[in-house]
């Protein structure tokens, strides 16, 4: 006979999202919570992020990744939340979670509510299709980070980094500090994809050259990487002949974006948003399946873990509410969509009846703007407007719409960003 256990809430993933959600659900009154984590430790990707800069918003102090995770692990210790490590979830069907672990073997767990918090993974060489030889030495920045910070090994001594995402920038500094030579960071866009503070602290402070509008056009080295070639790209991002630069290096690190890991979400037939590559959710973080919630990087890729925690607390609270008070009536749904210059919004729908004082909408802009007006419209009518300085695709933005304004909306909402000319 198959083992079948029952829990009020099952959280999938014990990274920052899963832990914050579990803690919030516990604090909201649900005591029977099981968190399933595939790794042998809780904390997720934070465990390999030994640099600081985490927690300024959430805890008001600068912490390293493991310290930030440690705070949640400690807080959960005083609760009845159980974290089951070394457990991989195979699929989710009708709120029955099938999982395997060395300890329990194959098991099935029936949950009243499920919180999806599986995080994201790095995009690798495939989707960007970097041509060239197959010599060893092409790593995603995160894999190199794991080798360095957890295993204690440098993957190479002469490094070129493609992509200016935050992990790549952090790794440029980290590998330099460990004695490797970072020769260049190439970014295909005309602007960096990481936080401005990381560009300053990780590249500029170490005189690492940044090549904007450049990409890798060849990888050389049959068994082991020997060099790479970068080229400038035109406005259509096509390499320009004659602009090739060769670097002799043993390692190419890729920091070319993160993708929410929604394979399990697919097994549960939950609706996904092609823009975020995560589930579509309401303001309560509930997915298209009632009682299943999603939060953190599995939903949309965040820049700061502090925001992951905040979002996950909302998911945890909502899951607790679902368990304690049952299904909320979905009656007054307003859809939220992205308009001009906005690439996505989370949530994708709002149940106005659930909104007490205000609702937060998270989004990213498509291009850099010194000054922008964020406009929320409904059926062509402006219902709210926000001014923001220094908008950039690399930085997630948030607007808070008060309930009074929200109630004015007759139909669905569209969020647009309009570049504002300088006042002078």
The answer to whether the beta carbons of residues 48 and 66 sit under 8 Å apart is no
Query: Is residue 37 involved in binding other proteins (CB under 8 A)?
Result: no
**C-beta closer to other proteins: residue 249 or 369:** 249
Query: Is residue 147 involved in binding other proteins (CB under 8 A)?
Result: yes
Stretch that binds other proteins, among 56-64, 85-93, 189-197, 290-298 (CB under 8 A): 85-93
**C-beta closer to other proteins: residue 68 or 139:** 139
- CA angle 69/46/315 to nearest 5° reads 65
Q: Tell me how far, at minimum, the Cβ of 335 lies from other proteins, in Å.
A: 25
Among 57, 61, 106, 204, contact with other proteins (rule: CB under 8 A): 106
Among 124, 201, 288, 358, contact with other proteins (rule: CB under 8 A): 124
Helical ranges in 299-375 per DSSP H: 305-325
**C-beta closer to other proteins: residue 250 or 311:** 250
Q: Kindly state the number of chain residues that form the binding site for other proteins, as judged by CB under 8 A.
A: 56
Among 13, 15, 65, 142, contact with other proteins (rule: CB under 8 A): 142
Q: Tell me how far, at minimum, the Cβ of 400 lies from other proteins, in Å.
A: 33
Q: Match 């990744």 to its residue by tokens.
A: 65
Separation CA 302–CA 200 (nearest Å): 20
- CA angle 11/13/19 to nearest 5° reads 70
Query: Is residue 269 involved in binding other proteins (CB under 8 A)?
Result: no
Q: Report CA Rg, the chain.
A: 22
Among 27, 59, 70, 86, contact with other proteins (rule: CB under 8 A): 86
Sign of the CA dihedral 21, 27, 29, 34? positive
Binding mask 224-243 toward other proteins (x if CB under 8 A, else -) reads x--------------x----
Stretch that binds other proteins, among 54-62, 204-212, 217-225, 342-350 (CB under 8 A): 217-225
**C-beta closer to other proteins: residue 32 or 261:** 261
Separation CA 353–CA 332 (nearest Å): 6
Separation CA 113–CA 10 (nearest Å): 7
Query: Who contacts 380 (Cβ-Cβ below 8 Å, separation ≥6)?
Result: none
Query: Is residue 343 involved in binding other proteins (CB under 8 A)?
Result: no
Helical ranges in 326-356 per DSSP H: none
Stretch that binds other proteins, among 155-163, 365-373, 379-387, 400-408 (CB under 8 A): 155-163
Q: What is the helix (H) or strand (E) element at residue 198, kind and residue range?
A: helix 196-198
Query: Is residue 179 involved in binding other proteins (CB under 8 A)?
Result: yes
**C-beta closer to other proteins: residue 2 or 77:** 2
Q: What is the DSSP string of 50-86?
A: -SEEE-TTTTSS-EEHHHHHHHHHHHHHTSS-EEE-S
Collapsing DSSP to helix, strand or coil, 262 comes out as coil
Among 75, 100, 396, 420, contact with other proteins (rule: CB under 8 A): 100
Positions touching other proteins (CB under 8 A) are 2-3, 38, 86, 88, 90, 98, 100-106, 108, 121-122, 124-127, 129, 131-136, 139-140, 142-143, 146-148, 150-157, 178-180, 217, 219, 222-224, 239, 250-251, 263, 266
């Amino acid at each position: 006979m198959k083992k079948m256990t029952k829990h009020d809430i099952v959280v999938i993933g014990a990274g920052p999202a899963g832990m914050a959600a579990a803690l919030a659900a516990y604090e909201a009154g649900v005591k029977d919570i099981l968190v399933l984590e595939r790794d042998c430790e809780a904390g997720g990707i934070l465990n390999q992020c030994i640099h600081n800069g985490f927690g300024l918003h959430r805890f008001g102090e600068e912490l390293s990744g493991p310290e930030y995770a440690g705070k949640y692990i400690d807080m959960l210790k005083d609760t009845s939340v159980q974290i089951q490590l070394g457990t991989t979830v195979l699929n989710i069907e009708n709120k029955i979670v099938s999982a395997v672990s060395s300890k329990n073997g194959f098991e099935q767990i029936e949950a009243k509510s499920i919180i999806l918090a599986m995080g994201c993974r790095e995009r690798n060489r495939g989707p960007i299709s970097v041509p060239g030889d197959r010599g060893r030495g092409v790593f995603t920045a995160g894999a190199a980070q794991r080798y360095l910070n957890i295993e204690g090994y440098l993957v190479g001594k002469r490094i070129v980094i493609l992509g200016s995402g935050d992990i790549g920038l952090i790794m440029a500094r980290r590998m330099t500090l460990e004695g490797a030579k970072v020769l260049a960071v190439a970014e295909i866009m005309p602007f960096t994809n990481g936080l401005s503070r990381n560009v300053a602290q990780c590249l500029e402070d170490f005189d690492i050259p940044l090549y904007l509008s450049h990409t890798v056009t060849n990888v050389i080295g049959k068994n082991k990487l020997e060099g790479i070639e970068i080229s400038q790209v035109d406005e259509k991002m096509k390499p320009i002949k004659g602009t090739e630069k060769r670097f002799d290096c043993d390692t190419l690190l890729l920091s070319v974006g993160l993708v929410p890991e929604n394979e399990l979400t697919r097994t549960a037939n939950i609706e996904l948003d092609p823009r975020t590559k995560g589930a579509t959710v309401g303001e309560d973080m509930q997915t298209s399946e009632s009682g299943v919630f999603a939060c953190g990087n599995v939903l949309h890729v965040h820049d700061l873990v502090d925001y992951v925690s905040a979002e996950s607390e909302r998911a945890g609270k909502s899951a607790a509410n679902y368990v304690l008070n049952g299904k909320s009536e979905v009656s007054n749904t307003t859809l939220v969509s992205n308009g001009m210059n906005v690439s996505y919004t989370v949530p994708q729908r709002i149940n106005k009846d659930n909104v007490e004082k205000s609702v937060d909408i998270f989004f990213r802009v498509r291009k850099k703007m010194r000054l922008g007006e964020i406009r929320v419209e409904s059926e062509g009518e402006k219902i709210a407007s926000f001014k923001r300085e220094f908008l950039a695709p690399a930085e997630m933005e948030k607007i808070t719409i008060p309930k009074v304004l929200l109630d004015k909306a007759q139909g669905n909402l569209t969020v647009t960003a309009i570049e504002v000319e300088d006042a002078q």
